[in-house]
Amino acid sequence: MKVQNVCVLGSTGSIGVSTLDVIARHPGRYRAYALSAYSRIDKLVAQALASGARIVVVPNDTAAQRFRSLWPSGRQMPEVRVGPEALAATAADAEINIVMAAIVGTAGLPAALAAAQAGKRVLLANKEALVAAGELFMQAVRNHGAELLPIDSEHNAIFQCLPEDEDRARAPERPARGVRRLLLTASGGPFRTTELAALRDVTPDQACAHPNWSMGRKISVDSATMLNKGLEVIEAHWLFSMEPDSIQVLIHPQSLVHSMVEYVDGSILAQLGQPDMRTPIAYGLGFPERIASGVGLFDLMRMQKLDFEPPEPGRFPCLGLAYDALRAGQSSCINLNAANEVAVDRFLSGGIRYTEIPQIIGDCLDRMEAFNSTTPQTLEDILEQDRRARAVAAELCMLRA
């Protein structure tokens, strides 16, 4: 079997680290060919040394100089590429077979799209590629013969529960046969039972203390507000051609059932497993074959109960905002994501309260409504609208400072 070259976009984040762990378990099958990082250059150096990566991509010349200064003498240095254009070019590199798109935020969109346009197998862990550019991205997968494997645990679970059909990875334009409803599970985050009045004084560290998963700070806050789950609803719409009313969110505190698919005959198929991202990563790398991930045995005997409950609208207003944006169209989804990124960043830096995040998103959606009449047709259109929405959200944050 020919070794598959893998590009890991965002290799120093939690998804990137787990991807490199799975790759290392299959040295005769996969090779970490290209890695990228934004700020943790020392970690990138360690990863490149351990994996033997041929290419690394960093954001600017300062980061490139730091990488070179940290590289040990006597070891062959990988090619160092610089800037967002180099990132997209690397994702489309002819030597690369598989691209793990794990850069958080809209910054990861151009490279993920470039990988799809180059016909790669894209392991999509970047929500914004579909939230901001769902139609454009899915059309690129279809037009260029790419494969799209979702890596979010919820979408990967749904993918696994769909009818056995290798065309699942080819961006189908209609729902899978016999599927009635998708059931996305959510942990409920750290504030599932917190008194509503107490949410006003939540600190960034409290919001980042997820009960089940180890994640970056931004996505941890998104999980606490359930905006993350709202983005996943939008993703599910594009990935599986399902309408909003056919996608339901259920809070499942144990995070053992990762999501479910309900069929027209009343059957419900669920995918269960430990809360370890190496499982969906291994599934995406090996599809349609299953390969070892390093995840240990799942002890069903210790699973005393599985709880499910509906999310409270008053506790998780961001979820409702995401459904509203999906129904309003692609432009509103861009505004939703941009406003959230700005608001969460401001919250993490101490500039606004936790409870002001949904308020800023809602106000931004209202202000940007005038731009929703035309669906963005190109990546440039999408990025321009994203910039406008960010400017509006930043202004709204300043007004609350």
345-390: per-residue pLDDT in tens? 999 999 999 999 999 999 999 999 876 667 788 999 999 999 999 9
How far is it, in rounded angstroms, from Cα 336 to Cα 399? 19
Q: What are phi and psi of 186, to 5 degrees?
A: -140, 140
Average pLDDT over residues 293-322: 91
pLDDT over threshold 90, residue 19: yes
Label residue 217 by pLDDT band (50, 70, 90). confident
Label residue 213 by pLDDT band (50, 70, 90). low
pLDDT over threshold 90, residue 67: yes
The confidence score (pLDDT) of residue 172 equals 81
pLDDT over threshold 90, residue 178: yes
The confidence score (pLDDT) of residue 372 equals 66
Say which residue the tokens 């070179």 belong to: 68
The confidence score (pLDDT) of residue 43 equals 98
Q: For residues 1 and 312, which has the higher predicted lDDT (pLDDT)?
A: 312
pLDDT above 70 coverage of the chain, percent: 98
pLDDT over threshold 90, residue 173: no
Q: Which of 18-32, 215-229, 257-271, 335-349 has the lowest mean pLDDT?
A: 215-229
The confidence score (pLDDT) of residue 294 equals 96
Structure tokens at 39: 């700020």
The confidence score (pLDDT) of residue 303 equals 76
Q: Is the pTM of this model over 0.75?
A: yes
Q: With both helix axes pointing from N to C terminus, report the angle between 227-240 and 134-143 in degrees, rounded to the nearest 10.
A: 40
Label residue 400 by pLDDT band (50, 70, 90). confident
How far is it, in rounded angstroms, from Cα 317 to Cα 360? 12
Residue (of 24, 13, 90, 25) closest to 52 by Cα position: 24
The confidence score (pLDDT) of residue 16 equals 97
Residues 6+ apart with CB under 8 A from 55: 7, 33, 34, 35, 78, 79, 81, 90, 93
Instruction: Please give the mean pLDDT across all residues of the chain.
Output: 93
How far is it, in rounded angstroms, from Cα 365 to Cα 254? 33
Domains of the chain are 4-150 (3.40.50.720), 329-401 (1.10.1740.10)
Average pLDDT over residues 284-296: 96
pLDDT over threshold 90, residue 157: yes
What's the CA angle centered on 150, arms 179 and 221, to 5 degrees?
Answer: 105
How far is it, in rounded angstroms, from Cα 218 to Cα 181? 29
The confidence score (pLDDT) of residue 169 equals 83
Residues 6+ apart with CB under 8 A from 391: none
pLDDT over threshold 80, residue 212: no
pLDDT over threshold 80, residue 1: no
pLDDT over threshold 80, residue 166: no
Residues 6+ apart with CB under 8 A from 176: 162, 163, 165, 168, 240
pLDDT over threshold 90, residue 214: no
| Per-residue pLDDT tens over the stretch 308-340 | 999 999 999 999 999 999 999 999 999 999 999
The confidence score (pLDDT) of residue 293 equals 97
pLDDT over threshold 80, residue 181: yes
